[in-house]
Amino acid sequence: MDTQEEIRKNICIQCDNEALQGGDYCEACENKAFKKIGGWLYLPALGLLVALVVSIFAINNTARALLEFSSSFTSRGLVVIYFELFGFIGQFLLTVYVGSLFLRKKRKLPLTYIIFLLYGVVFVGMDIWLAKALMNLPFGYDDARSLIRAIVACCIWIPYFRVSTRVKRTFVH
């Protein structure tokens, strides 16, 4: 029985050819499996989709506030609002670009995704700092939550995109 289990362990689960040592697939099936977006890569893909929707709403809300209440803002307040508007537009454009690289499985994606994550930290940090420095707004729970969320995303996804075998074998074009 042990020999049958041992033999079965060395057979590809996809096509019944001999599997690579320590793996579940033969070389051909493993190459096919890694060319697809799968595994943990579904989470960054979902994150890009969410970021796209959130940035559209953020652009809309910021533009609406600027149009409806621009006379109520001081010049310093307008600096913050314009910074947010252009920052959200930049985030939207970067999200579209990163998403297109992701879907086309381009080799540039890992570095570009890291830049996307760092952009989020810098943008949130600068927005909080400008609001405090120019408008004297307090640093609140929502600010802390946004900044911590962006930092945690960097701590998780930057190492993954730098080290992961799946990333290196999926984004090859």
pLDDT tens across 64-85, in order?
Answer: 999 999 889 899 999 999 999 9
Q: What DSSP line would sit under 23-74, residue for residue?
A: SSS-HHHHHHHHHS--GGGHHHHHHHHHHHHHHHHHHHHHHHHHHHHGGGS-
pLDDT of residue 33: 67
Cβ–Cβ contacts within 10 Å for residue 109, how many? Answer: 23
Residue with token string 């910074």:
83
Judge whether residue 3 has pLDDT over 70. Answer: no
pLDDT tier, 8 (very low <50, low <70, confident <90, very high otherwise): low
Residues 6+ apart with CB under 8 A from 24: 12, 13
Q: Of the candidates 154, 155, 162, 34, which has an alpha carbon nearest to the alpha carbon of residue 105?
A: 34
Instruction: Provide the whole-model pTM.
Output: 0.81
Please tell me what DSSP assigns to residue 164: -
Furthest-apart CA atoms within the chain: distance in Å: 82
Residues of 142-167 as b/e, b for ≥16 C-beta within 10 angstroms? ebeebbeebeebeeebeebbeebebb
How much is the pLDDT for 9? Answer: 62
pLDDT of 137 above 80:
yes
Q: Does 1 score more than 50 pLDDT?
A: no
pLDDT averaged over every residue in the chain: 89
